[in-house]
Amino acid sequence: MSDILLSFRNIAKEFSGNRVLNNINLDIKKGEIHALIGENGAGKSTLMNILFGMPVIHTTGGFEGSIEIEGEKVQITSPHEAMARGIGMVHQEFMLIPGYTITENIKINRELTNPNPISRIFGKQLETLDMKRMNADARKALDIMGMDIEEYTMVEGLPVGHMQFIEIAREIDKSGVKLLVFDEPTAVLTESETQNLLSVLEKLAATGIGIIFISHRLDEVMQVSHRVTILRDGELVVTKPTEDTNKHEIAELMVGRKVIMERSGSDKRKISDDIILSIRNLEVKMPGEEVKGFNLEVRKGEIVGIGGLAGQGKLGVANGIMGIFPARGEVIFEGRPLELNNPKGALAAGLAFVSEDRKGVGLLLDDSIELNTVFTSMQIHNQFLINLGFAKFMNARRIRRHTQAMINDLDIRCTSSKQKVGSLSGGNQQKVCLARALTQNPKLLLVSEPTRGIDVGAKKLVLDLLKKLNEEQGLTIVMTSSELAELRSICDRIVIVCEGKVEGILPPDASNTEFGLMMSGSRAGSQQGDGIA
Amino acid sequence: MKKAKGLLARFNTSYLIDNIVPIIFIGFTLAGFIVAKGLPINFFLSELTSRFYRNAFLVLSLLIPVVAGLGLNFGIVIGAMSGQLAILIVRYLSIDYLHLSGTWELILCFALALPIAAFVGFLTGRLFNKTRGQEMIASLIAGFFANGVYQFLLLFVVGVIIPVRATHPIIKPDGVGVRMTVDMGGLHYALDRIFRVPFMWAVLVVSLLVLALVVVMYLVRRKRGQQGSLVSFIIKVALLAGLACFSLYSIATNSRLMYVRQVPVVTVILIALLCVFNELIMKTKLGQDFRSVGQSQHIAAANGINVDRTRVIAVVISTVLAAWGQIAYVQDMGTLNVYGAHSQIGMFSVAALLVGGASVRKATVPQALIGTLLFHSMFIMSPEIGKAVFGNALLGEYFRTFMAYGVIGLALGIYAWNANRKSRITLDPEPVKEANS
């Protein structure tokens, strides 16, 4: 077939023994808008990194399989080469220089120049910029998208929607662009900007450019794409013409049937009707994970899961409550209002937090397991100290005894309690984080991404531990995770966050379709769940 | 009413804070004039212009690294040492073998300094790429290190490893090492004396030239149909014409201003050329790469710009310019203080640039020129104020060192404070609006 622009053939990729892509076969046709859908970690980004020859692929042992462009087998070893082959990327984070005009941004490193006497001697680098021609080119690219903004406007201060279009204009302006990849282009756009963008996509496709459209907004996918490919856990589930499917089916396929750990022993637990934590109108400015008016009530003794796609704000909730990022709103903990933006106050009130940023916020990497375990308790609760009045000393014996107990309880694999946590494996580091949180004797535990970056065996241990704490000590847990299966395995109910707000609350045994639709923000067809909103 | 409000808004505290350094210096100089009543204006202008001719070139050599995101290049000290090495080599050869005239010696100095400075600039550029994010402190320490190498070279290698004539006037009497001070011989004023003009004549010529330029520009703009501001045009013309008339009057009456030091035209032209060079290079592909890299290394690299190479080129250009600047500086002084002439160059040039209102991320040609003038005004005024207020000129001497370092600290502090304020994450101010409506 001659209208095939790009083919992936038997693509597979491993990261240190962990297979993240397996046997991917995919064709992109000319003039086609091809939607690529999958949960976080399904392998979309890895596939695109392979296509662009990103260094992260080549420094980790390359990939299996081959890529063909217009029937010709190619080796793409650098992003620059991908560009030269006519593959363009519209980045999710903007690759724009704020202090430059639109023209300068569109033409960055592809500036048009005229020779001058000096450049004839010293080479092309000293040729004079031809601003007039550059402006004209920029104008042309902007006109294709129907943007009437002046090309000499400074990018700084433009609305995000415009920035997105400038990114696209840059790709269009590159001569010979054949394939454009849009990575979540509508994530930051308003409704009307989104519609503009979609019509631009259609215009571009009509000129024969192939488009890979990565999005989790199923409505947009249904509206604009010609074919849909769904990835799940590194496998290609299906490629279908869009008209032969519907968003319910896509949602179902995207979430898939994963192994679900059965909740057991729930009869022993008591969930009282007391509300231990109530969050009203929480707004958190966490870059990339903004929360924009979050409401939730947590009952004493339950495990609440917070799920949702990356970038929708689920991580911001716990970080906002703990005062790590600026927050606003009303949080009532045990009947008393909790002061926001005050990490010390939140800790003193009896909250404990296991951060998703284990190495940044969670641990003192260059210090021992002992110190990491008792650090917060020493700082906040004045425990493990010998108080001499004029000075306080660490009570080394008690610290050692306590840490030893924790190491035994949580099964932390280490050479001694004096080992530096930086040299532990990811799973054991996570256990140290948990040990520190438990040492505080918290009334409520906030856990974010507890299984991120740790291997399967350790994952199960961590989840079992959380469950055990909840069952035996009645500890209330709010767990945030990108992995739905994980939430469904231990939570009593799961809050799905979309665009910084609660999209809905589902029981763990709700169907895949319901979860899929809710995470994509397509409320239609899903009930509000049976939880309390 | 509205206009007044706008003016007021522009003159708010943040404007004051952003420009606090130039404001302090203008204030200081004015205060100096008031306190030190007896200071003759021709003495002040002579001193100021001499210092300007000497230092402007060095200050201008700092601009490109700032644009390329490397911050303030204290490493121009290394360039200055390269320039001095070139001078010493030329002096040694000229006395013994070549017997050149001053002008030729000077040209040879410039030519010889180019490869030396380009090489050490390349090395420092590589160093900066390895110390990304800490370029300024790296350049400062590299300067100290290079000073050690320089001393080792001139105090030990010359005479012990490289054989030299022990009786040569620039070699120490024991035949090892170079003397502390070396007479510049024919090099003294080699650049300055090519063509000199009395100060007021220069003022007259320059003001008339600028006047002509302003008028032509205005007419061209009118012809193209662009609406220029008539008021600002008239003000400009009146000021320039007034200046021209004043200089004519001074010349006619042979006033005190006629005793201001004569203008070394070639030096001034070189400074002007360097200004033009700095402006023109920004209009080339290379200049655009400097700016791209300076604004964001990440985005520049993502678009295929060779970031490391671009940064090295910026440092090489800066170092070469500094070497030439130091040659121009030393030829004006007359004697070369071999082990001391370069030591303060980095600090004082950086301070001068900052006084002009530049920051770590942004520096322009006017800022460099104004900064040089203001900084040296302070230098001249300090001893005068010390004398007038405390009856002790030495106090003023101490004070100016304090000011030089203080201004660097202040400018860096303000920059860091502003950068922190901008990068701080804050909530969107939504509810305020709600409350208002």
User: What is the residue-level pLDDT of chain A in tens, covering all 533 positions?
Assistant: 468 889 999 998 887 777 788 888 999 998 899 999 887 777 888 888 888 888 888 888 888 889 998 888 888 888 778 888 888 888 766 788 888 999 999 998 888 888 888 888 888 888 888 889 999 999 988 888 777 888 888 888 787 778 888 888 888 888 778 899 988 887 777 777 788 888 888 888 888 889 999 887 888 888 899 999 998 888 888 898 988 888 888 888 887 755 455 555 555 566 777 889 999 999 998 887 889 999 999 998 899 999 888 778 889 999 999 998 999 999 999 989 999 889 999 999 999 999 988 888 889 989 999 999 999 999 888 889 988 888 888 899 999 999 999 999 888 888 888 999 988 887 888 889 999 999 999 999 999 988 877 766 777 888 888 888 888 888 899 999 888 888 888 888 999 998 889 989 988 888 888 888 888 876 544 444 333 33
Q: What share of chain A is helix, strand, coil (3-state, %, to 5)?
A: 35, 25, 40
Calculate what percentage of chain B has a pLDDT beyond 90.
Answer: 39
CA–CA gap between residue A97 and residue A505 (Å, rounded): 40
CA–CA gap between residue B168 and residue B89 (Å, rounded): 12
Confidence of residue B427 (pLDDT cuts 50, 70, 90): confident
Residue A446 in 3-state DSSP?
strand
Residues from chain A that touch B295, judged by Cβ atoms under 8 A, are 97-100
Kindly tell me if the per-residue pLDDT of B305 is higher than 60: yes
Kindly tell me if the per-residue pLDDT of B76 is higher than 90: yes
Kindly tell me if the per-residue pLDDT of B306 is higher than 50: yes
CA–CA gap between residue A87 and residue A179 (Å, rounded): 5
Residues from chain A that touch B426, judged by Cβ atoms under 8 A, are 285, 326
CA–CA gap between residue B163 and residue B154 (Å, rounded): 12
Residue-level pLDDT at A257: 55
Query: Which residue type, as a one-letter code, is found at position A380?
Result: I
Cβ-based neighbours of B150, under 8 Å, separated by 6 or more: B81, B85
ipTM at complex level: 0.78
For A331, the enclosing helix (H) or strand (E) is strand A327-333
**In 3D, which of A350, A321, A327 has the Cα closest to residue A448?**
A321
User: Which backbone phi and psi does A269 adopt, to 5 degrees?
Assistant: -85, 150
Distances (CA, A) of A177 to A88, A212, A226: 7, 13, 20
Residue range B389-409: average pLDDT? 81
Confidence of residue B11 (pLDDT cuts 50, 70, 90): low
Residue-level pLDDT at B434: 42
Q: Cβ A109–B305 below 8 Å, yes or no? A: yes
CA–CA gap between residue A486 and residue A449 (Å, rounded): 10
Inter-residue contact B203 to B241 (CB < 8 Å): no
CA distance A326 to chain B (A): 6
pLDDT tens-digit readout, B141-150: 999 999 999 9
**pTM for this prediction:** 0.79
Residue A146 in 3-state DSSP?
coil
Residue-level pLDDT at A80: 79
Range 16-35 of A in CB contact (< 8 A) with B: none
Q: Cβ B285–A327 below 8 Å, yes or no? A: no
Which residues belong to CATH 3.40.50.300 in chain A? 1-85+178-256, 272-519
Residues from chain A that touch B273, judged by Cβ atoms under 8 A, are none
Q: Cβ B427–A108 below 8 Å, yes or no? A: no
Would you give the DSSP letter of residue A201? H
Query: Which residue type, as a one-letter code, is found at position A426?
Result: G
CA–CA gap between residue B240 and residue B253 (Å, rounded): 20
Partnered with residue A327 across adjacent β-strands are A284
Confidence of residue B320 (pLDDT cuts 50, 70, 90): very high
What b/e string do you get for A132-151 counting C-beta neighbours within 10 Å, with b at 16 or more? eebbebbbebbebbebeeeb
Burial of residue B371 (number of CB atoms within 10 Å: 0-12, 13-18, 19+): buried
Inter-residue contact B199 to B187 (CB < 8 Å): no
CA-nearest residue to B306 within chain A is A109
Cβ-based neighbours of B259, under 8 Å, separated by 6 or more: B42, B46
**In 3D, which of A59, A69, A137, A65 has the Cα closest to residue A101?**
A137
Residue-level pLDDT at A529: 39
Identify the architecture of domain A272-519 in CATH: 3-Layer(aba) Sandwich (3.40)
Q: Which residue intervals of A37-190 are DSSP H helices?
A: 44-51, 55-58, 79-84, 102-106, 117-122, 131-144, 160-173
Q: What share of chain B is helix, strand, coil (3-state, %, to 5)?
A: 75, 5, 20
Domain B19-198+262-419 adopts which CATH fold?
A: ABC transporter involved in vitamin B12 uptake, BtuC (1.10.3470)
Handedness of CA B327, B332, B338, B340 (dihedral sign): negative
Burial of residue A262 (number of CB atoms within 10 Å: 0-12, 13-18, 19+): exposed
Kindly tell me if the per-residue pLDDT of B200 is higher than 50: yes
Residue-level pLDDT at A270: 66
Range 302-321 of B in CB contact (< 8 A) with A: 302-305
Other Cβ atoms less than 10 A from the Cβ of B244: the count is 19
Identify the architecture of domain A1-85+178-256 in CATH: 3-Layer(aba) Sandwich (3.40)
CA–CA gap between residue B373 and residue B219 (Å, rounded): 32
Among A109, A132, A155, A282, which would you mutate to test the B interface (most chain B Cβ atoms within 10 Å of its Cβ)?
A: A109
Residues from chain B that touch A127, judged by Cβ atoms under 8 A, are 284-285
Kindly tell me if the per-residue pLDDT of B63 is higher than 60: yes
Considering just the CA atoms, what is the radius of gyration of chain B in Å? Answer: 24
Q: Cβ A109–B286 below 8 Å, yes or no? A: no
**How many CA atoms within 13 Å lie on the side-chain side of A37?**
33
Strands A392-394 vs A385-387: parallel, antiparallel or unpaired = antiparallel
CA–CA gap between residue B287 and residue B295 (Å, rounded): 12
Other Cβ atoms less than 10 A from the Cβ of A494: the count is 26
Question: For residue A438, what are its two tokens?
Answer: 């438990």
Inter-residue contact A282 to A502 (CB < 8 Å): no
**Angle between helix B393-423 and B365-385 (nearest 10):** 140
Write the residue in B281, B296, B431 that is nearest to A97 by C-beta. Answer: B296
Inter-residue contact A464 to A427 (CB < 8 Å): no
Query: Which residue type, as a one-letter code, is found at position B299?
Result: I
pLDDT tens-digit readout, B14-60: 677 777 888 888 888 888 888 877 778 888 888 899 999 999 999 99
Residue range B113-141: average pLDDT? 94
Residues from chain A that touch B299, judged by Cβ atoms under 8 A, are 95-97, 108
Residue-level pLDDT at A531: 38
CA distance B344 to chain A (A): 33
Kindly tell me if the per-residue pLDDT of B338 is higher than 70: yes
A287 touches chain B (CB under 8 A): yes
- What are the boundaries of each domain within chain B? 19-198+262-419, 199-261
Other Cβ atoms less than 10 A from the Cβ of B5: the count is 9
CA–CA gap between residue B27 and residue B395 (Å, rounded): 19
Residues from chain B that touch A125, judged by Cβ atoms under 8 A, are 284-286, 289
Tell me, rounded to whole angstroms, the distance of Cα A282 from its chain centroid.
20
